[in-house]
Amino acid sequence: MLDLPTTQARDVSEQSSHSEGVRLLVAMPALNEDRTIEDMIRRVPRDLPGVSQVDVLVVDDGSTDSTSSKAAAAGAQVISHGQQLGVGAAFHTALRAAMNLGSDLLVTIDSDGQFDPATIADIVAPVIDGRADFVTASRFADPARIPQMPAVKKWGNRVMSKLISSIIHQKFFDVSCGMRCYNREAIVRLTLTGSFTYTQEVFLNLAFKRMRIMEVPITVRGVREFGKSRVASSILRYAINTATIILRTYRDYKPMRFFGRLALLFGIPGVLLSVFLFVHVLMTGSFTPHKWAGFTGGTFILLGLVFLHMGIIGDMLDRHRIYLEEVLYMVRQSSGQDRNGDRKR
């Protein structure tokens, strides 16, 4: 994205928010959470410094219990998918709702009771103060706050955090936490594709767009009081789906780096094998017994050239993606300003 329009848009957005009052939407994805949903909604703080209005939205992802009716009875707005689409799809719904409502801030928090709604104030404050565009709660940044949870899940979170940190060159301890706060700029900038989950893709998407990201330590319940996680119930399935989302995001936003490394991975061994065969022929005058080096080296070089070509094409497509995302951003921004204007009147 172009730095100048992004900076100008952020300044205008912040000035508008501070002058007219800040509207916060707290979104809770829910799937069969009728034992915790009412308590979570009622515990959402309504009096937050710098926030003039707090709305609560429950995104019911195909619940078969009384989640929707209890959420509505507790005073939340409810959007029902009708069938289970995934937590990523639920976040897409919350994102669209925030844009449609003209919300200045979006907070996402799980509805299973693992997070304390009172800590919403902790993740909202840095955004209100203008220190960050996107704040994520962190279960692992403070060693004293690390929750009790299965060792394999701790290990998986640590590996995923190291991977994301290495890609975006900024240290994070928890990239999978579902409790987060987004300002208006981050809301309208986000363009996500994953439906299984969204947490890691958000980091990459906003980091590649130079959004300011901050991590705030919080204390959470490590194990759900009722039921089990719908996203991480199968560690292997979660790892495969998450890795696929990360791989695709990295490929789309850094195509030359992605395919360039694959080109080097095959091209360098191909050249070395070809040089080895060439030296052998010069010294012995025969291809025997190393014809294999020629065939293998030639194949590797060809694959390297194919990946290099894909990187060049991907780089061209990346330019088109940037232009399209900028148009989408302007449309969303204009729509949000119109809704804020209507709200003010």
Q: What CATH code would you report for 3-253?
A: 3.90.550.10
CB atoms within 10 A of CB 107: 27
Instruction: Check residue 144 and report its DSSP letter.
Output: G
pLDDT in tens, 25-84: 999 999 999 999 999 999 999 999 999 999 999 999 999 999 999 999 999 999 999 899
Residue 341 scores a pLDDT above 80 = no
Half-sphere exposure of 164 (CA within 13 A, CB side): 28
Mean pLDDT of 113-119: 94
Instruction: Give the pLDDT of residue 223.
Output: 59
- 13 token code pair: 């957005």
Are 24 and 53 contacting, i.e. CB atoms less than 8 angstroms apart? yes
Instruction: Give the pLDDT of residue 117.
Output: 96
Instruction: Give the pLDDT of residue 222.
Output: 58
Tell me how far apart the alpha carbons of residues 282 and 277 are, in angstroms, rounded to a whole number: 9
Q: Match 């204390």 to its residue by tokens.
A: 219
In this structure, which amino acid lies at residue 313?
A: I
Confidence of residue 193 (pLDDT cuts 50, 70, 90): confident
pLDDT in tens, 226-238: 555 555 556 788 8
Q: Match 């203008």 to its residue by tokens.
A: 130
Instruction: Give the pLDDT of residue 20.
Output: 58
Tell me how far apart the alpha carbons of residues 226 and 162 are, in angstroms, rounded to a whole number: 30
Of 170, 181, 229, the closest CA to residue 24 belongs to 181
Residue 9 scores a pLDDT above 60 = no
Residue 8 scores a pLDDT above 50 = no
In this structure, which amino acid lies at residue 277?
A: L
- 154 token code pair: 């701790």
Of 54, 171, 45, 16, the closest CA to residue 117 belongs to 45
CB atoms within 10 A of CB 64: 9
Tell me how far apart the alpha carbons of residues 81 and 186 are, in angstroms, rounded to a whole number: 24
CB atoms within 10 A of CB 334: 11
Paired with 28 in beta bridges are: 58
In this structure, which amino acid lies at residue 291?
A: K
In this structure, which amino acid lies at residue 279?
A: V
CB-based contacts of 241, cutoff 8 Å, min separation 6: 194, 196, 197
Mean pLDDT of 137-165: 91
For residues 152 and 256, which has the higher predicted lDDT (pLDDT)? 256
Q: Match 């070809």 to its residue by tokens.
A: 274
Considering Cα of 323, then 326, then 330, then 332, what sign does the dihedral take? positive
- Chain-centroid distance, C-alpha 127: 17
Ranges assigned E (strand) in the chain: 22-30, 51-60, 77-80, 105-108, 134-138, 180-183, 213-217
Tell me how far apart the alpha carbons of residues 98 and 157 are, in angstroms, rounded to a whole number: 28
- 285 token code pair: 């005058």
Instruction: Give the pLDDT of residue 229.
Output: 55
The residue ranges of every structural domain in the chain are: 3-253, 255-321
Residue 143 scores a pLDDT above 70 = yes
CB-based contacts of 7, cutoff 8 Å, min separation 6: none
Averaged confidence pLDDT in the chain: 88
pLDDT in tens, 208-221: 999 999 999 999 87
Residue 311 scores a pLDDT above 70 = yes
- Mean pLDDT check: name the lowest of 95-109, 229-243, 274-288: 229-243
Are 67 and 32 contacting, i.e. CB atoms less than 8 angstroms apart? yes
Instruction: Give the pLDDT of residue 4.
Output: 33
For residues 336 and 81, which has the higher predicted lDDT (pLDDT)? 81
Instruction: Give the pLDDT of residue 343.
Output: 57
